Amino acid sequence: MKKTIILLYLSIATALLSAIIGFFALADMIQWVIHFPEEFTFVVFGYRLQLMIIGITAFVVSLYIEFKYKLLPKFLLITFAVTFVMLFVGGFIAPTYLMFKSQHNDAKFVSIDEALEYLSESEEALVLEINGDARAYPHIWITQPHIAGDIVGDEDVVMTYCGLSHLGIAYKNDVDGNKLDLKVMTQLRNNLVMFDAKTQEPIQQLNSCFYNSGLEMIELPSTVMPLSSFKKLYPVGKVFYAPSDNFMDDLTRKMMFSAIYSEGGQFDEKNPDPSFPTIEYSDKRIPSKERVFGVKINDEKVAYTLDYLIKRDNVVVDMVGGKIITIKYFPEYDFVDIFYGNDVNVNHYGKDENGKKLNRVAHYNQILWVIWSNFYEDTKVRI
C-alpha cells in the first residue's frame, strides 16, 4: 500500500507540474503578474505535446489509483482535479483553440454596406489592396482571432493583427514554397506570437520570421483608415466579418477590449505603461502610446509621427536603408501610405501623375511607440 500511496502522490505532482509549466509559459494573462525569459516560453512550446501527454497520463493514473483505493479525502480529489483542468486548459488549450481561434482558412467577408449595418463609418480598419482588389479588416473584428486569410487580387494572403501593439501585418501565405496555417500562440513583449500549425514553429509578428529555422515571411504593404474612407476608395471591396456570436467570444472580447480601450489601458495616452509589464517605456523621444509609422529597410529603422508629416505639408521624401521613399498623409481620407521612389504627387491609389502605380513599402502603420522602440532600440525618429 505504501508504494501505491507514493505512486499516487507522484502522479499528482507530475500532472500538476506539467500543467503549471504550460500555464506559466503559454497563458499570456499570467504575465500581468509574473513573466519568464522568452526562451522559456519557446522551449516549453516546443515540448508542449510531450508535456500534455505526460500531464494527461499522470492525471489519469492518479484518478485510477484514487478510484480503486480511495486514498484521498473527497475535497482534496476535487481540488486536484479542478486545479489540473484549469491550468491545463488555460495554458495548452484556451489561447489557441478557445479564446483566439484563428480564421486563417475560414474567414468570412461581406460588402462594405453590410458591414456598416453593424459598425460605424468612423471604425478603423486595416486595409490591404492588391491589383485593385481590396479588403478591410476592422480592428474591432480582427482583434480576437488575430489572423484572417483570403485570396486578394489573385494573391493568397493572410492578415495578422496585434491589439496590444496596434499593429497589422499582411503576409504572403507562402514561405519557402509551403503554405502556412497560422494560429495564435501567446503574446511576448506586448506583441503577438503565432505559430505555423504545419511546422509547429513560433513566429513573433514584429520580427516576421520563424523562431527555429529563421525563414522569413514575406510582408505585404497595408495601411489603416476609417471605413468611410474605404467605402469611398474601394466601394466594391470586401470587409472581414467576425462579430461575436457566442458566450466565449463575448467574454474574451470584453476582457481584451477592457485591457486595450479602457481608461488606463493599452491605448490610453495618459498612461505610459503597457498593459503587460514585460517592457518599459524607456525611450522618451516620443510619447509612449503615440502611434507611429515604422519603416525597416535593409536593417535601418525609422519611425515617423503624424505631426512630422503634417508640419511638412503631409508629404516627406526620405532615404532609409539606401532606398528613397515617399511618406504621404492623405488628410481627406485620414491615412498614411509609403512608397518607393521620390514622388510627392502620388495619389491615394498609389499612382503618379501618369497613372503609373508606384511600389508600396511594407511598413508598420500606427504601431505604438513603446512597442516599436522596445523591439528596435536603434531606431531613428522623425518628429
Whole-number percent of the chain with pLDDT over 70: 100
Confidence bin at 176 (pLDDT 50/70/90): very high
CA distances in angstroms from 102 to 67, 182, 338, 345, listed in the order given: 39, 7, 29, 39
Inform me whether the pLDDT recorded for 18 exceeds 90. Answer: yes
Query: 158: closest CA among 128, 188, 199?
Result: 128
pTM of the model: 0.95
Inform me whether the pLDDT recorded for 29 exceeds 90. Answer: no
Whether 145 and 185 have beta carbons less than 8 Å apart is answered as: no
SS3 58: helix
Q: What share of the chain is helix, strand, coil (3-state, %, to 5)?
A: 35, 30, 35
The Cα 279–Cα 336 span in angstroms is 27
Inform me whether the pLDDT recorded for 35 exceeds 90. Answer: no
Q: Tell me the per-residue pLDDT of 214-229, one tens digit each, with 9 for 90 and over.
A: 999 999 999 999 999 9
Inform me whether the pLDDT recorded for 245 exceeds 80. Answer: yes
pLDDT computed for residue 365 by the predictor: 98
Inform me whether the pLDDT recorded for 317 exceeds 90. Answer: yes
Confidence bin at 282 (pLDDT 50/70/90): very high
Inform me whether the pLDDT recorded for 263 exceeds 80. Answer: yes
pLDDT computed for residue 363 by the predictor: 98
What mean pLDDT comes out for the span 155-172? 98
Give ∠ CA 210-101-135 in degrees, rounded to 5. 80
Whether 254 and 147 have beta carbons less than 8 Å apart is answered as: no
Radius of gyration of the CA atoms of the chain, in A: 23
Inform me whether the pLDDT recorded for 31 exceeds 90. Answer: no
Inform me whether the pLDDT recorded for 1 exceeds 80. Answer: no
Give phi and psi for 223, each to the nearest 5.
-145, -175
Give phi and psi for 355, each to the nearest 5.
85, 5
Inform me whether the pLDDT recorded for 73 exceeds 80. Answer: yes
Q: For residue 76, what is its C-alpha cell? A: 482534496
What mean pLDDT comes out for the span 144-161? 98
Give phi and psi for 347, each to the nearest 5.
-95, 180
Whole-number percent of the chain with pLDDT over 90: 96
Inform me whether the pLDDT recorded for 313 exceeds 90. Answer: yes
